[in-house]
Amino acid sequence: MSLRTDKSQAVTDAIMSRITVRDFLDKPVPKDVLAEIFETALRSPSGGNLQPWRAHIMTGETLSNFSEAAIENVKSGVMEGETFPAYPSPLWEPQRSWRYKLGEDMYALLGIERDNKLGRLMWLANNARFFGAPVGIIITGNVKLGMAQHMDIGIFLQSLMLLAREAGLHTAPQGWWRRHPETAAKFLNIPEDEHVLVGMSLGYGNPDAKVNDLWADRAEMEELVHFYP
C-alpha cells in the first residue's frame, strides 16, 4: 500500500470521548464488530515488528464462568501471585497525589466515604465482573519481554480503545487482572512462557451510571510537555 497523505479525521474525537467506563449495558457486541476491531488493532506498530501482544477475548459462557471464578477469589480473599505491580512503591509526587485524587473523585461520585473501607473494597470487586461488560479481554505476553515490548503493548491497548470508540463502544483497561493469573490460566489457553499483562472490559457504556461521569483530571501541558524553540 502506498503512503496515504490525506488527513485522518476521527482521531481527536475518539481520544476525547474515550474514558474508562466502569458500568456497561447488558447488550452484546456483534462478533463481526469485535473481529474488525482486533483485525485493525493488529496494525499497531511495535519495535522491530515483534507484535508482542496476545489477546484472549471472552464472551458468553466463558466470560461468565471466568468472572464467577474471579468473584469467588475476591469473596474468599484468595490472592494469586501478581504478574508485576501496578505502580512503583512508594509512589512519589506529583503522581502520588494524582492517583489519590482519582480514587477520591470516583468514590465521591459513588457516595462511598473514605472510612468505608469495605464499601471501597466491594466496589473494586466490580473489576472481577468486567464491570458488567459483554466482552472481557486478557492480554498476555512472553515472560521474557522487555520494557520496550511493554510500550508496544500499551500502543496496542490504545488502538483497541480508540477503535472501540469508532464502533460506539467503550472500554476499561484493567491492570487488576494481573492479580488473577491462575484463574486466567484455568480458562484460557495461555502457554507456559506467557503471563497476564493487562485485561480490558469492552461494551456499550451505561450513560445512566454515575461512575461513568468521572472525568479524570490531567496535568497542565507545561508540567509534562516541553517545547524547545
Ligand X SMILES: Cc1cc2nc3c(=O)[nH]c(=O)nc-3n(C[C@H](O)[C@H](O)[C@H](O)COP(=O)(O)O)c2cc1C
- Contacts with ligand X, residue ranges (CB under 6 A): 19-20, 22, 102, 127, 172-176, 198, 216
Nearer to ligand X, 141 or 173 (CB): 173
Q: Write the CA distances from 218 to 102, 111, 157, 201, 228, integer angstroms.
A: 10, 23, 19, 23, 22
Q: 11 or 216, CB closer to ligand X?
A: 216
The least distance separating ligand X from the CB of residue 18, rounded to whole angstroms, comes to: 7
Amino acid present at 4? R
Q: Looking at the DSSP assignment, which residues form a beta bridge with residue 137? A: 57, 200
CB of 103 within 8 A of CB of 112?
A: no
d(CA 191, CA 121): 32
Closest approach of ligand X to the CB of residue 198, in Å: 5
Beta carbon of residue 20, minimum distance to ligand X (angstroms, whole number): 4
Work out how close the CB of 213 gets to ligand X at its nearest, in angstroms, rounded to a whole number: 11
The length of the chain, given as a count of residues: 229
Please say which residue, 37 or 161, places its beta carbon nearer to ligand X.
161
Cis peptide before 207 (omega within 30 of 0): no
Decide whether 22 or 29 has the Cβ nearer to ligand X: 22
CA distance 33 to 42: 14
Distance CA 138, CA 197 (A): 8
Q: Which is nearer to ligand X, 61 or 208 (CB)?
A: 208
Pick the closer one to ligand X by CB: 61 or 223: 223
Q: How far is the CB of 36 from ligand X (least distance, A)?
A: 23
Q: How far is residue 130's CA from residue 23's CA, in Å, rounded to a whole number? A: 9
Q: Smallest gap, in angstroms, from Cβ of residue 117 to ligand X?
A: 17
Is the sign of the CA dihedral 144, 149, 155, 156 positive or negative?
negative
Cα distance between residue 124 and residue 131, in whole Å? 10
